[in-house]
């Protein structure tokens, strides 16, 4: 059963609501904030003063209204906080350091020595990328709100449940967020890479135009993330959008999940690698850049793969549309740009749609190519910031425990005092939310 919350939580929640409204809206007056949030002008005035004093928002130009005193516009203070986003891609690890406004202050990308690194080495590489970004930005560590990680595989509460990079055999249920958090002495939030990319796209890409969209992410496999009514949908166990295991060819190729004919077996870097590597090399030894050369040379086995991938992708897009009716399906990830563009071109025409066509009200094309090259890292960087300010009640009882919980106290001092910490609320359930706050 759903209960209300006590007054202290309500205050925290209201601060988050006001802060999120400023973040989403841009420069805005207190009067407009009150209208937008449903809070009283007095409450907005008090909360905005608290947020200003904490260095999270700033007062800008006065806007001349029709009558009375010109109103002061409030906007985000970009230097109020910073976060790092990491993306563990196929044969690389990339990272970005962003400010509160999502502007990239520093970025880096390292090739990985092997497709599957021992966990100790992987943690070491992640740690050095974070340290490198801090040095590049000349930013003291205590300015970081946390680190977000986009990982291939099923991620639940910061734990890598199934690691697609290792075939799910070698290191199941690895508490990656906790381990990295301990090493870095910072809160770390882990998320599936496709879901992280969808969150990035929501904040910095197509999300500015669409409230409902599906993000298809080309990694070694193929994953997906759903944005429903402006919010990221995780599903019952955090695995919503595992599009790679949608069956597109019943009785087709066997898949690691135990089924046959999954999309991933036809449409992924892994399947392209198998086509190009032939009998001489394993799929993970084929670098994504090679696919561009194959395309340029019209290499027969690659072109066969491309046509088959487009055929099954068309089916998948149709299935996504009928299940979910998104405003658009966005496709991005680690496939080289020229290969992705050709693949998308080959899906045309898409299967007949049961929904309105552009002439009858559809504002966006059914299929859109993602523009930012490193959306998973950008989306991952948004995770610590979103966790901190997300007014969604769901997050109040969904963020996991771990060493990062205690560490967060040290790292997030001032912002946390004002906004409350999502990291220490790990044991809060719907029930004790009313009993204990």
Binding footprint of Zn ion on the chain (CB under 5 A): 245, 255, 257, 259, 262
In whole angstroms, the minimum distance from the beta carbon of 107 to Zn ion comes to: 33
The SS3 assignment for 224 reads strand
Which residue, 132 or 261, has its beta carbon nearer to Zn ion?
261
In whole angstroms, the minimum distance from the beta carbon of 332 to Zn ion comes to: 21
In whole angstroms, the minimum distance from the beta carbon of 237 to Zn ion comes to: 16
In whole angstroms, the minimum distance from the beta carbon of 320 to Zn ion comes to: 16
Which residue, 16 or 245, has its beta carbon nearer to Zn ion?
245
Residue 206 Cα distances to 91, 101, 223, 230, 434, angstroms: 27, 17, 18, 11, 38
Which residue, 317 or 381, has its beta carbon nearer to Zn ion?
317
| Residue 102 CB contacts under 8 Å (≥ 6 apart), including other chains | 203, 204, 378, 381, 382
Which residue, among 411, 437, 415, 430, has the nearest Cα to 189 in the 3D structure?
Answer: 411
Assigned token pair, 230: 């402006």
- Show the CA angle centred on residue 47, arms to residues 42 and 49, nearest 5°: 95
In whole angstroms, the minimum distance from the beta carbon of 359 to Zn ion comes to: 38
Q: Is 256 left (phi over 0), alpha (psi -120 to 50) or beta?
A: alpha
Q: What is the largest CA-CA distance in the chain?
A: 78
Alpha carbon distance 210, 116 (integer Å): 36
Alpha carbon distance 382, 160 (integer Å): 19
Q: Is 167 left (phi over 0), alpha (psi -120 to 50) or beta?
A: left
In whole angstroms, the minimum distance from the beta carbon of 172 to Zn ion comes to: 16
Which residue, 232 or 245, has its beta carbon nearer to Zn ion?
245
- With 0-12 CB in 10 A as exposed, 13-18 as middle and 19+ as buried, what is 132? middle
Which residue, 265 or 368, has its beta carbon nearer to Zn ion?
265
Which residue, 255 or 393, has its beta carbon nearer to Zn ion?
255
CA dihedral 204, 205, 207, 208 (to 10 degrees): 80
In whole angstroms, the minimum distance from the beta carbon of 92 to Zn ion comes to: 25
Which residue, 179 or 192, has its beta carbon nearer to Zn ion?
192
The SS3 assignment for 358 reads helix
In whole angstroms, the minimum distance from the beta carbon of 198 to Zn ion comes to: 20
Which residue, 178 or 315, has its beta carbon nearer to Zn ion?
315
- Is the peptide bond prior to 349 cis by the omega test (within 30 degrees of 0)? yes
């Amino acid at each position: 059963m759903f209960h209300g919350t006590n007054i202290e939580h309500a205050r925290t929640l209201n601060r988050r609501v006001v802060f999120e409204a400023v973040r989403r809206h841009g420069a805005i007056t207190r009067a407009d904030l009150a209208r937008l949030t449903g809070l009283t002008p007095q409450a907005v005035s008090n909360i905005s003063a608290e947020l200003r004093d904490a260095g999270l928002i700033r007062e800008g130009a006065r806007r001349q209204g029709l009558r009375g005193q010109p109103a002061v516009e409030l906007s985000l203070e970009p230097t109020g906080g910073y976060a790092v986003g990491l993306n563990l891609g196929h044969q690389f690890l990339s990272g970005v350091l962003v400010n509160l406004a999502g502007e990239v202050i520093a970025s880096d990308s390292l090739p990985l020595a092997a497709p599957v690194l021992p966990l100790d080495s992987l943690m070491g590489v992640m740690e050095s990328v974070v340290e490198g970004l801090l040095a590049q930005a000349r930013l003291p560590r205590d300015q970081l709100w946390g680190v977000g990680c986009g990982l291939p595989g099923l991620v639940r509460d910061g734990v890598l449940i199934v690691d697609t990079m290792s075939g799910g055999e070698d290191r199941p249920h690895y508490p990656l967020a906790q381990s990295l958090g301990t090493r870095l002495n910072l809160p770390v939030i882990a998320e599936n890479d496709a879901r992280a990319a969808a969150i990035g796209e929501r904040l910095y890409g197509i999300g500015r135009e669409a409230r409902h969209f599906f993000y298809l992410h080309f990694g070694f496999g193929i994953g997906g993330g759903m944005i429903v009514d402006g919010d990221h949908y995780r599903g019952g166990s955090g695995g919503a959008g595992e599009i790679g295991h949608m069956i597109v060819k019943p009785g087709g190729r066997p898949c690691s999940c135990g089924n046959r004919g999954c999309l991933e077996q036809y449409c992924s870097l892994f399947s392209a690698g198998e086509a190009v590597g032939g009998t001489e090399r394993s799929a993970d030894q084929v670098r994504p850049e090679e696919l561009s050369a194959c395309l340029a040379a019209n290499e027969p086995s690659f072109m066969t793969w491309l046509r088959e991938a487009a055929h099954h992708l068309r089916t998948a897009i149709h299935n996504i549309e009928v299940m979910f009716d998104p405003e658009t399906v966005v496709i991005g990830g680690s496939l080289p740009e020229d290969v992705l563009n050709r693949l998308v071109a080959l899906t045309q025409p898409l299967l007949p749609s049961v929904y309105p066509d552009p002439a009858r009200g559809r504002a966006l094309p059914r299929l859109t190519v993602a523009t930012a090259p490193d959306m998973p890292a950008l989306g991952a960087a948004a995770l610590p910031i979103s966790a901190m300010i997300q007014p969604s009640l769901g997050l109040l009882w969904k963020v996991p425990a771990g060493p990062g919980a205690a560490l967060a106290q040290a790292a997030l001092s001032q912002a946390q005092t004002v906004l409350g910490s999502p990291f220490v609320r790990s044991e809060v359930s719907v029930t004790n939310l009313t009993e204990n706050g």
